[in-house]
Structure 1
Amino acid sequence: MDRQAHAVTGTALVVLWSSGFIGAELGTRYAPADTLLAWRYVVAAALLAGLAAALGTRLRPRALLRQGTLGLLCQCLYLGGVVTGVGLGVPAGTTALIASVQPLLVAAAAGPMLGEHVGPRGRVGLVLGLAGVGFVVAGDLGLGDAPWCAFLLPVGGMAALTTGTLLERRWRPAESPLESLTVQTVFAAGVFLAAAGVGGHLQPPVAPEFWWAVAWVVVLSSFGGYGAYLLVLRRGGAVRVSTLLYLTPPTTMLWAFLMFGEVPGPLAVPGVAVCAVGVALALTDGRSSNRPVVAARGSGTPRS
């Protein structure tokens, strides 16, 4: 994958991944978060399943199990942990900072597990990226009014995304990104539908603004953001895709300023600069490696 393609897919990932936070703000003005998640995934699953049927897609049980596992980790547990934690009172800035520990965990595990080694410059860049995120979200850091156990939810969500990222890269599944996205989305739709039903929040509001928010997160976040995540992960590696996520809090800040008029805090601009320097150092680390790894036994069987 050449440098220009890396730049295009990386930019798409950052912009589209951060759109999910804006869509959540738009949707939760009219319905609880679990209602928004349920209908986001129902609509996305229906569209993707229809496309899969039209294309005649056929996957074997092992592939469905593999992608269902990744969907549970990267979509259900990640989003469920983050959204539920915020709903219980964990400040959004604190949640963002917790989530930003993920690149460090991926980098620590990627060497022995994937052969993606990070050199000294890359390690400095990763630490700077985390510090930059801290500056960006400094105005919304704190304990809020959440019980201590609520903080375990975004921590668990971050750990689930880390695990899913490493497993996807380790397994190197034969399914295309579209097939992976379809199976994971259908699986997540079932989980979020059940969760919203148990919570008594399955009934959607009739407000057209809610359905506008659903369209936003389906197109930009589910198809765009997670689709770009899969592309960058498979073509650029686990460390690269995780490092780029450092740029999503600054990008979300810009989205929020343009759409809602939210003025960034005094540390936000220097935070963006620190994030950018950190990501640049990490992504240009000459000692980083993206060598192929040997897949787990049986995991690379086509359409298995």
Structure 2
Amino acid sequence: MPEEPAASAPPVRADAVIPAAFVVLWSSAFIAAVIGTDAAPPLLLTFSRFAVAGVLLALIAVVSKSPWPRGRLLLHAIVTGLLMQAVQFGAFYMAIGEGLPGGVVALIQGFNPVLIALLAGMFLGERITGRQWCGFVVGGAGVGLAVVGALDFSATAIVLSFVGLLGLSAGTVYQKRFAQDVDVRSGTAVHFLAGAPVMGVMTLAFEDPEVSDWGAFCGSLAWIVLVNSVGTFLLLNFMLKKRAASRVGALFFLTPAVTALLAWLVIGQALGCSAIVGLLLGGAGVLLVTRK
């Protein structure tokens, strides 16, 4: 009898790989932001990120012949970009520039799923089950444990972080409600290009836009643009087109613990027991929220 062919390993599904890649890449942004804001003012770093990433994504959109939003859809894409980009990262980078550790900013951003769930329930009609709310509680506990023990509180920086959180959550829900049909490549380019002039005016008005360490600035900017601005937001917008907003938002529960892990690997910050427990709780929370 002919031998039966060996069973091949099942292919890795993009649904599993993309969320994991998104969490790791998104978390790395906080490490790059700490390095970048040590070398230049935060709003200057934000403006540079938006300008370079916007032009790069616009070129990608043109080469790939992506359809550009027009009329009212263009307006919705601009509003989404101002919320999700200008408000979020302008506030987050200013908070980091004020001395708030990147892990603490990730902690505050980790409450994004709860805020998204509330907004999605009110404006998108998404139903949040009891199991998902349990996941929010477990994930929130993981968020708290992930970075506990080394907090350097600054009232202004904490307020700025919550402003950034509001921009991210509102932008996510707004995009899901009004800009769902915008192409990922051209839409993300519009987001950055809409936010760049705002950040440019703000850095000229409120900062002395000088770079103290060009090597660190260019290195962090390159990582933030290529990996965080282009890679993660293409992944985020792709997931928003395929998943419920609350399920996408639940991934942010993992970012504080993953940020703590990356900080240990990249800049030598010790990873304590609380961070490890937080990582496990955050993963359990995401599983509860996103499991079908």
TM-score, normalization by structure 2: 0.88
Q: 1:208 to 1:85 in 2, by over 3 A?
A: closer
Q: Deviation digits for residues 27-73 of structure 1, max 9, x if unmatched?
A: 22321222221211221122123334443754423232111100111
Equivalent positions of 1:1-304 (< 5 A) are 4-54=13-63, 55=65, 58-141=68-151, 144=153, 146=154, 148-204=155-211, 207-284=214-291, 286=292
Is the deviation greater in 81-90 or in 229-238? 81-90
| Cα distance in 1 for residues equivalent to 2:116 and 2:250 | 9
Cα 1:60/1:42, change in 2 over 3 Å: same
For the residues of structure 2 that align with 1:70 and 1:180, how far apart are their CA atoms? 9
Alignment CA distance shift 1:76-1:172 (3 Å): closer
Q: C-alpha separation between the residues in 2 aligned to 1:211 and 1:37?
A: 13
Q: Which moved more, 1:151-160 or 1:201-210?
A: 201-210
Task: Decide which moves more: 236-245 or 78-87.
Answer: 78-87
Distance 1:123 1:73, change over 3 A: same
Residue-by-residue CA offset, 1:250-278 (whole Å, 9 max, x unaligned)? 11112111111111123111111111111
The aligned counterpart of 2:4 is none
Tell me, yes or no, if the aligned pair for 1:34 and 1:201 is still in contact at 8 Å: no
Deviation of 1:103 after TM superposition, in Å, equals: 0.8
Structure 1 residue 6, shift from structure 2 partner: 1.6
Report the 3-state secondary structure (helix = DSSP H, G, I; strand = E; otherwise coil) of the residue aligned with 2:276.
Answer: helix
Moved more, 150-159 or 227-236: 150-159
Q: CA RMSD in A?
A: 2.2
Distance 1:193 1:238 in 2: 30
CA contact (8 A) 2:95 2:158 kept: yes
Shift, 1:114, TM fit: 2.1
Percent of paired sites with the same residue: 34
- Provide the aligned length of Structure 1 versus Structure 2: 281
1:241 and 1:206, CA in 2 relative to 1: closer, same or farther beyond 3 A? same
Residues 50 and 195 in structure 2, CA contact (< 8 A), matched pair in contact too = yes
1:38/1:202 contact within 8 Å kept: no
2-structure distance, mates of 1:93, 1:52: 33
Q: Give the 3 Å change call, closer, same or farther, for CA 90–109 of structure 1 in structure 2.
A: same
Matched AA of 2:48: W
Task: Extract unaligned runs of 5+ from structure 1.
Answer: 287-304
Report the 3-state secondary structure (helix = DSSP H, G, I; strand = E; otherwise coil) of the residue aligned with 2:149. helix
1:279-301 Cα distance to aligned partner (Å, 9 max, x none): 111111x5xxxxxxxxxxxxxxx
Task: Give the distance between the partners of 1:96 and 1:224, measured in 2 at CA.
Answer: 19
Q: Secondary structure at 2:137's aligned position in 1? A: helix
| Partner amino acid, structure 1, of 2:250 | T
TM-score (norm 1): 0.84
- CA separation of 1:6 and 1:179: change in aligned 2, threshold 3 A: same
Structure 2, unmatched stretches of 5+, are 1-10
